[in-house]
């Protein structure tokens, strides 16, 4: 290992606590050479960020290095006193953080922050440092660097700020760069540019980079070698092609098979049940069960049976802010004359980048926001015209929604039973309290949580399990139409695969119609029959899913499709095995 | 169908296992403070039983016993542990009865402020828009006037409206209203900012999708989620309310000397400070400080325990 | 580069932006003053009968009605309010019921005493409180920090009047070092009476100033500490550490400046409340300031004095808030420069 630039040997990181403490990294061995990008991949809680912080000796209290050594060019840097460590931070090892919006001091100009860092490490005059600052901004691709250098962080967009963060990390020509989820907070189009920039920097400057990420697509794009982490351990290290195409370790295999494939549509995600033990789903006989009665409204309302279930026409929404006692009012056109139909029984996808207005559409359809214009017809009735609350609730009950954030979408102060029973009680869907309880227990069984979950509070569950609670609550009104707003984007890929499988199963069993909103094209490809593409409040294209992926028509759709990660999952041999199992 | 093999943990077990309890038994300050608070509250509640004398029973109070020093001083009388005041009342007993008034005013005014503040905060935070801006401007304006000044003004107004004798009788209520009305702003601001965070959380939207009316969402879903910080404020404001009551009584605009609070006692004693009868002032003062300090320590502990990010 | 026009932010000329900002705040301040004026007028008009308070027992009904008419108390409410505001702007608040003197004279006489006391206390509280708050945030585990925090807990738990009493008992009664009441000798500088230039004036100032400063100081320590801790937890501080910047630079340039933004508001409020808390101190030390005047007015229901004091305090607050807003504007580029 002589050519290793940064060498981590048998690293142990501990977080002592009153519950006995957590070992965040156990016996971790990693090394990176000059001009190489080592990807460290793993799901949340795998301990990947801990590694970066341990190298920099910036572990948050009470975390500490419990064993092992870290070498930089053969020189031991673990357990150095802080004033020695400061000569390494920034000077020999640069670090890039995840969120560009919070990583920069809001009160100083970019020039001041750059010059301060440069002069900390290099013996330059103020003018020389300024010249260097401008040249750094130029190198990270910021246009007009001589002007922009004197701007404050809030004057830059998110992607531009991340370029400034990278420039700050490069101030003193470090030999190693630690990038901790550098593109996670960015939209796909910006993400692609930043990854390109990082790749160029490594190639041109011959630095070694450790890229910490949860995203297989990012790994496939830029990493030369990959280390896979699972519960604080590195389970497998090797060249990217080998790890992604033909991994040895069982965890790696199931992790990779859980990543939605951008290239083909699979019926289900294989091999994911082994990752987090998901409870047994109990099948119900829907012909007799309460849930099966969901079809009872099918016959009512003659027009509904032939037309689309949901018809949205010229929908408009404007957000206003400010406007009292002098503060300036501003408005934003979030949804701009959007029209689409959703047929009974299909899964309609809406895809777009953040701020494109896709989540606003979900909130308009469900009535959380009031539309500024246009119509929303559900089963032949225009909901925007309905004024009577009772009448409206009758329709609302038939459409339910699953939200993005599993932690905030259930009320932490209520027991799971009360969370799920609330819609049943409110809409008086059961005859008695004991029947309500039985229905809740059945629902919990049905989504794979088990009836015992009913007496617990949400904080006792993981993100994926909470998302199941959310799904059970949505099913509790016996809906016919389910809106999923980024239901898995806050989850790890393995959990995502389980939840997506569950949604597919439920849709089939209960004959649900779905509107599925996501920023993630591969997920859309796995889930949806038809897709609408949104950009800046407008729906630019609606197409059959396969047509969209094979031959997008609109320029923006083409652009989005072209940004999809090229990664294509396990080799065919593995897929065959996976499908069979 | 539903197998209830897993017992729902009882309240006591949940309390024992909670982080709050753990942090409590590991902070000696909080333990001592709560013991002191409980002692003072108990002493005040059961003043009739605990106090060696009834200072307000004119039959037992003897003017010849006036201005006796504490029992351990040369001229002290063993039946008056902490000495007597200018009217021959036992200082220890007046402190017990006085803490009762102080605590009643403190708790009642904090409760009043909390009810007003939480209601305003919930409405402002949830409705937003013009109503919110208006309520918060009112709060801003009031906040720029310190509580003590507002309480003084309200008290002055009450004096102007009510005849003198009637005023003494309702003095305690006037104090509660005065302090309560000057303290609501903090609750309103805190609750409002919490509500504005909660209102955008997805569980609230889930309630809207179910079709729940706003008031159910507000009471059943949002309110329980914003009560944590309210508890912290209430504790710290209890200390402040006790101080404010004492201050107003000391300034002579609080409770009258016929049924004195700790502040009134200090005011009475202040006149004798220069002639050397220090105990009439100092002992009620010590009682006041111990009470307020204990409540403040509990408030600080509660804030840190509920918000582990702040050490 | 895809889509989106390239955004090159413009630094808006500072003067113009500042003028707009300040004039808007000024407008808001005037509204606040009018609202407080309404309350003050309401006090004056409806609490007790103004006529009753001006005449003796033996005044005839005719004389009363004449007085009512001449005071304009029969005019519509809005007219009376307008007249009240008009007079208040010129400094005319009517006659004190208790002292039978123009309220404006009374206030002018007492104002210097309160302002000198408040300024000295404010400086003491800020000069000690802010550094102590910063220190306890930066070194939360050190012995000094624990000491400061214990002291500040004592400070918020000790009522101001009790601090005054204890100081009097110790330095006044027992040691006889310092005078226990009054302002000592004052020197007239025009209408302004100052105690800054005589030995007895300065000696008299010590205890009241300390009494007034302690409570405010402890509040400032705790608030500054809380804000600073908040800032020290941010990503940009962590990123600064990861760039190897020196702790001095991080703590005193980056963290301190960011702490300053919220702390300015807090300090503005504190300085304002010092003037109100002066009521207590003045009462304990018989300091001949506005607070003492006010507390006497409250117990005697001397409404014109109460109304005038309320307006004056409101005015002081409005001015302080305006200064705070302007400072904010200077410190925080996010307000100054549009993106």
Please tell me the predicted confidence (pLDDT) of residue B258: 79
Q: Any chain C CB within 8 A of the CB of A61?
A: no
pLDDT digits 0-9 by tens, B78-94: 777 777 777 778 888 88
> Which token pair is B180?
């309560």
pLDDT digits 0-9 by tens, A314-334: 999 888 754 444 445 567 788
For residues A159 and A207, state if they share a domain.
no
For residues A154 and A19, state if they share a domain.
no
φ/ψ of residue A46, rounded to 5: -75, -15
**Interchain CB distance below 8 Å, B1 and A408:** no
Q: Are A9 and A27 in contact (CB under 8 A)?
A: no
Query: Does a structural domain hold residue A500?
Result: no
Q: Any chain C CB within 8 A of the CB of B289?
A: yes
More confident residue, A286 or A131: A131
pLDDT digits 0-9 by tens, A119-147: 999 999 999 999 999 999 999 989 999 99
Query: Does a structural domain hold residue C60?
Result: no
Sign of CA dihedral C291, C293, C295, C301: negative
For residues A73 and A209, state if they share a domain.
yes
Three-class SS state of A263:
coil
* Contacts for C105 with CB less than 8 Å, ≥ 6 apart: none
Which candidate in A323, A363, A411 is best for mutational testing of the B interface (most B CBs within 10 A)? Answer: A411
Q: Residue A25's beta-bridge partner residues?
A: A13
Q: Which domain holds residue B212?
A: 82-310
Mode of pairing for the β-strands spanning A176-180 and A93-96: parallel
* Contacts for B294 with CB less than 8 Å, ≥ 6 apart: B32, B33, B34, B36, B37, B40
Counted domains in chain C: 1
* Residue A273 pLDDT class (50, 70, 90 cuts): low
Spell out which residues of chain B touch residue C165, defining contact as CB-CB under 8 Å.
Answer: 266, 270, 273, 281, 285
From CA B289, how far away is CA B304, in angstroms rounded? 22
Which candidate in C139, C142, C165 is best for mutational testing of the B interface (most B CBs within 10 A)? Answer: C165
Provide the CATH number for the domain around residue C187: 1.10.3720.10
For residues A4 and A88, state if they share a domain.
yes
pLDDT digits 0-9 by tens, A145-186: 999 999 999 889 888 999 999 999 999 999 999 999 998 888
Residue A217: pLDDT above 90?
Answer: no
Percentage of chain B exceeding pLDDT 70: 92
Q: How many residues does chain B have?
A: 311
pLDDT digits 0-9 by tens, A228-256: 999 889 999 999 989 988 888 888 888 88
Query: Does a structural domain hold residue B31?
Result: no
What is the reported pTM? 0.81
**Interchain CB distance below 8 Å, C156 and B159:** no
Please tell me the predicted confidence (pLDDT) of residue A553: 92
> Which token pair is A222?
């830029």
Question: To the nearest 10°, the Cα dihedral for B241, B246, B247, B248?
Answer: 90
**Interchain CB distance below 8 Å, C297 and B311:** no
Q: Scanning every residue of chain A, which has its alpha carbon at the shortest distance from the alpha carbon of B1?
A: A438
> Which token pair is A179?
């990038």
Counted domains in chain A: 3
Please tell me the predicted confidence (pLDDT) of residue A326: 42
Spell out which residues of chain B touch residue C159, defining contact as CB-CB under 8 Å.
Answer: 243, 246-247, 250, 263, 288-289, 292
Please tell me the predicted confidence (pLDDT) of residue A236: 93
Percentage of chain A exceeding pLDDT 90: 46
**Interchain CB distance below 8 Å, A397 and B211:** yes
Closest CB from C169, C233, C298 relative to B253: C298
From CA B169, how far away is CA A220, in angstroms rounded? 81
For residues A87 and A154, state if they share a domain.
no
Residue B8: pLDDT above 60?
Answer: no
> Which token pair is A174?
């470090």
Q: Any chain A CB within 8 A of the CB of B16?
A: no
Q: Are A38 and A211 in contact (CB under 8 A)?
A: yes
Show which of residues 143-202 on chain A sit within 8 Å of chain B, judged by CB atoms: none
From CA C167, how far away is CA C154, in angstroms rounded? 15
More confident residue, A434 or A323: A434
Closest CB from B141, B149, B285 relative to C35: B141
Provide the CATH number for the domain around residue B141: 1.10.3720.10
From CA A497, how far away is CA A176, in angstroms rounded? 35
Closest-CA distance, C242 to chain A, in angstroms, reads 5
Q: Any chain B CB within 8 A of the CB of A556?
A: no
Query: Does a structural domain hold residue B56?
Result: no
Spell out which residues of chain A touch residue C264, defining contact as CB-CB under 8 Å.
Answer: none
Please tell me the predicted confidence (pLDDT) of residue B1: 38
Query: Does a structural domain hold residue B252?
Result: yes
Residue A294: pLDDT above 60?
Answer: no
Spell out which residues of chain B touch residue C156, defining contact as CB-CB under 8 Å.
Answer: 239, 296
Q: Over the range B143-164, which residues count as b (16 or more CB within 10 Å of their CB) and which as e?
A: bbbbbbbbbbbbbbbbbbeeee
Sign of CA dihedral A542, A544, A547, A548: positive
Percentage of chain A exceeding pLDDT 70: 89
Task: Point out the least confidently predicted range of A402-416, A430-444, B5-19, B274-288.
Answer: B5-19
Q: Are B279 and B94 in contact (CB under 8 A)?
A: no
Other beta carbons within 10 Å of A272: 23
Spell out which residues of chain B touch residue C280, defining contact as CB-CB under 8 Å.
Answer: 148, 247, 250-251
What's the mean pLDDT when you consider all of chain A? 86
Task: Name the E strands within A367-413.
Answer: 373-378, 381-382, 399-402
**Mean pLDDT for each consecutive 10-residue tract of chain C (339 residues)?**
34 61 82 86 76 71 78 79 86 82 89 91 91 91 88 88 88 85 83 85 92 89 89 91 91 89 79 81 91 86 86 86 82 73
Which candidate in C6, C11, C28, C243 is best for mutational testing of the A interface (most A CBs within 10 A)? Answer: C243
From CA A436, how far away is CA A432, in angstroms rounded? 6
* Residue B6 pLDDT class (50, 70, 90 cuts): very low
Write the DSSP symbol of residue A280.
P
What's the mean pLDDT when you consider all of chain B? 82
**Interchain CB distance below 8 Å, B289 and C279:** no
Query: Does a structural domain hold residue C21?
Result: no
Query: Does a structural domain hold residue A158?
Result: yes
Please tell me the predicted confidence (pLDDT) of residue A570: 59
Residue A266: pLDDT above 50?
Answer: yes
**Interchain CB distance below 8 Å, A116 and C9:** no
Radius of gyration of chain B (CA): 24
Q: Per-residue pLDDT averaged across B139-151, rounded? A: 78
Please tell me the predicted confidence (pLDDT) of residue B205: 92
Residue B248: pLDDT above 80?
Answer: yes
Write the DSSP symbol of residue C255.
I
From CA A60, how far away is CA A564, in angstroms rounded? 35
Mark which of A241, A260, A280 sits at the end of a domain: A241
Please tell me the predicted confidence (pLDDT) of residue A330: 64
For A349, A525, B48, the CA distances from A266, given in Å and listed in that order, are 16, 9, 80
Kind and range of the H or E run holding A217: helix A216-222
Provide the CATH number for the domain around residue A198: 3.40.50.300
Query: Does a structural domain hold residue C50?
Result: no
For A264, A561, A568, B44, C2, the CA distances from A188, given in Å and listed in that order, are 20, 10, 17, 66, 12
From CA C165, how far away is CA B266, in angstroms rounded? 9
Q: Residue B90's beta-bridge partner residues?
A: B84
Angle CA A548–A551–A552, to nearest 5 = 55
For residues A87 and A195, state if they share a domain.
yes
pLDDT digits 0-9 by tens, C165-187: 889 888 888 888 888 888 888 88
Show which of residues 470-499 on chain A sit within 8 Å of chain B, judged by CB atoms: 470, 473, 477
For residues A144 and A201, state if they share a domain.
no
Counted domains in chain B: 1
* Residue A568 pLDDT class (50, 70, 90 cuts): low
Spell out which residues of chain B touch residue C304, defining contact as CB-CB under 8 Å.
Answer: none
> Which token pair is A221?
């794009």
Residue A537 Ramachandran class (φ > 0 left, ψ -120 to 50 alpha, else beta): left
Q: Please list the alpha-helical segments (H only) found in C233-302.
A: 235-242, 247-248, 256-285, 290-300
Other beta carbons within 10 Å of C336: 17
Residue A322 Ramachandran class (φ > 0 left, ψ -120 to 50 alpha, else beta): left
Q: Which domain holds residue A460?
A: 407-477
Query: Does a structural domain hold residue B232?
Result: yes
Please tell me the predicted confidence (pLDDT) of residue A575: 47
Mark which of A152, A171, A190 sits at the end of a domain: A171
Q: Scanning every residue of chain A, which has its alpha carbon at the shortest distance from the alpha carbon of C239?
A: A103
For residues A115 and A77, state if they share a domain.
no
Write the DSSP symbol of residue B84.
B
Closest CB from C298, C301, C317 relative to B152: C298
More confident residue, B217 or A278: B217
From CA B42, how far away is CA A543, in angstroms rounded? 75
Closest-CA distance, A169 to chain B, in angstroms, reads 28
Q: Which domain holds residue C152?
A: 103-332
Q: Are A226 and A212 in contact (CB under 8 A)?
A: no
Mark which of A131, A154, A171 sits at the end of a domain: A171
Q: Residue A320's beta-bridge partner residues?
A: A331
Spell out which residues of chain B touch residue A363, defining contact as CB-CB under 8 Å.
Answer: 205
Q: State the count of interchain CB pairs (< 8 A) between A and C.
A: 97
Query: Does a structural domain hold residue B40?
Result: no
Residue A386: pLDDT above 90?
Answer: no
For residues A119 and A214, state if they share a domain.
no
pLDDT digits 0-9 by tens, A9-50: 999 999 887 767 788 888 999 999 999 999 999 888 788 889
Which candidate in A280, A361, A394, A408 is best for mutational testing of the B interface (most B CBs within 10 A)? Answer: A408
Spell out which residues of chain C touch residue A109, defining contact as CB-CB under 8 Å.
Answer: 333
Q: Per-residue pLDDT averaged across B7-24, rounded? A: 70
Q: Are A464 and A277 in contact (CB under 8 A)?
A: no
Other beta carbons within 10 Å of C55: 14
Three-class SS state of A409:
coil
Q: Per-residue pLDDT averaged across B6-16, rounded? A: 62
From CA A359, how far away is CA B152, in angstroms rounded? 52
From CA C181, how far away is CA C245, in angstroms rounded? 53
């Amino acid at each position: 290992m002589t050519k290793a630039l940064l060498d981590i040997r048998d690293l142990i990181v501990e977080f002592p606590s009153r519950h006995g403490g957590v070992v965040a990294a156990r016996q971790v061995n990693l090394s990176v050479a000059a001009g190489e990008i080592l990807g460290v991949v793993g799901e949340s809680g795998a301990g990947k960020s801990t590694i970066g912080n341990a190298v920099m000796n910036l572990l948050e209290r009470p975390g500490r290095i419990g064993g092992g050594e870290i070498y930089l060019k053969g020189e031991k840097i673990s357990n150095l006193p802080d004033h020695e460590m400061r000569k390494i931070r920034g000077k020999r090892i640069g670090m890039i953080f995840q969120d560009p919006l919070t990583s920069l001091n809001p009160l100083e100009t970019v020039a001041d922050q750059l010059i301060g860092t440069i002069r900390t490490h290099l013996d330059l005059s103020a003018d020389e440092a300024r010249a260097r600052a401008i040249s750094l901004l130029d190198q990270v691709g910021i246009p007009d660097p001589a002007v922009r250098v004197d701007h404050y962080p809030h004057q830059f967009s998110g992607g531009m700020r991340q370029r400034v963060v990278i420039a700050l990390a490069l101030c003193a020509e470090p030999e190693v760069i630690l990038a901790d989820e550098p593109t996670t907070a960015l939209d796909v189009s910006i993400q692609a540019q930043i990854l390109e920039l990082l790749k160029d920097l490594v190639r041109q400057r011959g630095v070694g980079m450790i890229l910490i990420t949860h995203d297989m697509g990012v790994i496939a794009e830029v990493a030369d070698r990959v280390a896979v982490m699972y519960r604080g351990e590195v389970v497998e290290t090797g060249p990217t092609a080998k790890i992604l195409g033909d991994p040895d370790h069982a965890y790696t295999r199931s992790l990779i098979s859980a990543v939605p494939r951008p290239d083909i549509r699979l019926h289900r995600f294989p091999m994911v049940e082994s990752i987090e033990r998901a409870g047994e789903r109990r099948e119900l006989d829907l012909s007799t069960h309460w849930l099966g009665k969901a079809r009872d409204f099918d016959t009512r309302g003659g027009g509904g049976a032939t037309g689309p279930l949901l018809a949205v026409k010229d929908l408009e929404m404007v957000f206003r802010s400010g406007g009292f006692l002098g503060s300036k009012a501003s408005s934003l056109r979030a949804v701009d004359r959007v029209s689409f139909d959703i047929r009974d029984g299909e899964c309609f996808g809406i895809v777009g980048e953040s701020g494109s207005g896709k989540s606003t559409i979900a909130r308009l359809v469900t009535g959380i926001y009031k539309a500024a214009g246009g119509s929303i017809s559900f089963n032949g009735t225009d909901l925007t015209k309905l004024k009577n609350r009772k009448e409206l609730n009758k329709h609302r009950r038939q459409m339910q929604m699953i939200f993005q954030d599993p932690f905030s979408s259930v009320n932490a102060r209520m027991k799971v039973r009360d969370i799920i029973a609330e819609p049943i009680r409110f809409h008086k869907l059961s005859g008695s309290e004991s029947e309500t309880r039985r229905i809740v227990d059945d629902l919990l069984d049905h989504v794979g949580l088990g009836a015992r979950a009913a007496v617990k509070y949400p904080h006792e569950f993981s993100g994926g399990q909470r998302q199941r609670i959310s799904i059970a609550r949505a099913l509790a009104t016996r809906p016919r139409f389910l809106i999923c707003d980024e239901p898995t984007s806050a989850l790890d890929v393995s959990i995502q695969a389980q939840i997506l499988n569950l949604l597919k199963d439920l849709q089939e069993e209960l004959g649900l119609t779905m509107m599925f909103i996501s920023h993630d094209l591969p997920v859309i490809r796995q889930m949806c029959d038809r897709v609408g593409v949104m950009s800046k409040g407008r729906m630019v294209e609606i197409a059959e899913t396969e047509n969209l992926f094979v031959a997008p028509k609109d320029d923006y759709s083409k652009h989005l499709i072209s940004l999809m990660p090229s990664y294509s999952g396990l080799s065919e041999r593995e897929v065959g095995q996976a499908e069979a199992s | 169908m539903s197998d209830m093999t897993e017992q729902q943990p009882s309240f006591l077990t949940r309390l024992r296992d909670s982080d709050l309890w753990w942090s409590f038994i590991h902070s000696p300050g909080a333990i001592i403070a709560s013991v002191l608070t409980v002692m003072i509250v108990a002493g005040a509640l059961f003043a009739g039983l605990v106090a060696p004398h009834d200072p307000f029973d004119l039959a037992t109070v003897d003017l010849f016993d006036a201005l006796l020093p504490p029992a351990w001083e040369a001229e002290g009388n063993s039946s008056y542990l902490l000495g007597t005041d200018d009217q021959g009342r036992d200082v220890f007993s007046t402190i017990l009865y006085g803490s009762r008034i102080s605590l009643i005013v403190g708790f009642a005014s904090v409760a009043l402020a909390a009810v007003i503040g939480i209601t305003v905060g919930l409405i402002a935070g949830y409705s937003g828009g013009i109503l919110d801006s208006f309520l918060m401007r009112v709060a801003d304006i009031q906040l720029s006037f310190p509580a003590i000044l507002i309480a003084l003004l309200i008290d002055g107004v009450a004096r102007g409206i009510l005849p003198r004798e009637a005023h003494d009788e309702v003095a305690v209520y006037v104090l509660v209203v005065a302090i309560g009305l000057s303290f609501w702003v903090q609750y309103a601001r805190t609750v409002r900012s919490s509500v504005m965070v909660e209102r955008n959380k997805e569980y609230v939207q889930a309630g809207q999708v179910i079709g729940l009316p706003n008031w159910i969402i507000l009471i059943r879903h949002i309110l329980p989620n914003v009560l944590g910080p309210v508890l912290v404020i209430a504790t710290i404001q209890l200390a402040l309310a006790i101080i404010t009551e004492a201050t107003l009584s000391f300034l002579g605009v609080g409770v009258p000397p016929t049924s004195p609070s700790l502040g009134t006692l200090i005011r009475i004693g202040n006149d004798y400070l220069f002639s050397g009868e220090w105990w009439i002032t100092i002992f009620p003062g010590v009682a006041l400080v111990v009470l307020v300090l204990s409540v403040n320590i509990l408030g600080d502990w509660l804030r840190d325990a509920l918000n582990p990010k702040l050490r | 580069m895809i889509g989106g026009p390239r955004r090159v932010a413009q630094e808006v000329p500072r003067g113009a932006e500042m003028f707009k900002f300040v004039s808007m705040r000024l407008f808001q301040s005037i509204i606040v003053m009018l609202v407080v004026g309404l309350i003050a007028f309401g006090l004056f008009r409806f609490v007790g009968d103004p006529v009753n308070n001006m005449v003796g027992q033996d005044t005839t009904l005719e004389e009363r009605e004449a007085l009512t008419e001449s005071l304009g108390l029969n005019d519509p409410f809005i007219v009376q309010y307008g007249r009240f505001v008009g007079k208040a702007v010129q400094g005319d608040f009517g006659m004190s019921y208790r002292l039978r003197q123009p309220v404006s004279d009374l206030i002018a006489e007492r104002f210097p005493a309160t302002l000198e006391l408040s300024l000295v206390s404010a400086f003491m509280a800020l000069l000690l409180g802010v550094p102590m708050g910063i220190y306890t945030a930066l070194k939360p585990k050190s012995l000094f920090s624990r000491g400061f925090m214990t002291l500040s807990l004592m400070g918020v738990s000790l009522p101001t009047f009790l601090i005054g009493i204890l100081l009097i008992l110790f330095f006044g009664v027992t040691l006889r070092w310092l005078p226990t009441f009054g302002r000592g000798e004052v020197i007239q500088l025009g209408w302004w009476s100052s105690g800054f230039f005589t030995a007895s004036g300065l000696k008299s100032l010590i205890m009241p100033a300390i009494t007034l400063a302690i409570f405010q100081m402890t509040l400032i320590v705790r608030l500054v500490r809380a804000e600073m801790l908040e800032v020290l937890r941010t990503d940009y501080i962590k990123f600064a550490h990861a760039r190897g910047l020196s702790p001095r630079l991080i703590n005193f340039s980056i963290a301190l400046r960011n702490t300053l933004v919220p702390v300015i508001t807090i300090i503005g409020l504190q300085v304002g409340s010092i003037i109100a808390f002066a009521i207590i101190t003045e009462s304990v030390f018989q300091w001949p300031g506005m607070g003492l005047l006010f507390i006497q007015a409250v117990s005697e229901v001397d409404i014109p004095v109460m109304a005038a004091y309320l307006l004056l305090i409101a005015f002081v607050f409005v001015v302080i808030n305006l200064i705070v807003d302007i400072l904010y504007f200077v410190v925080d580029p996010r307000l100054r420069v549009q993106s």
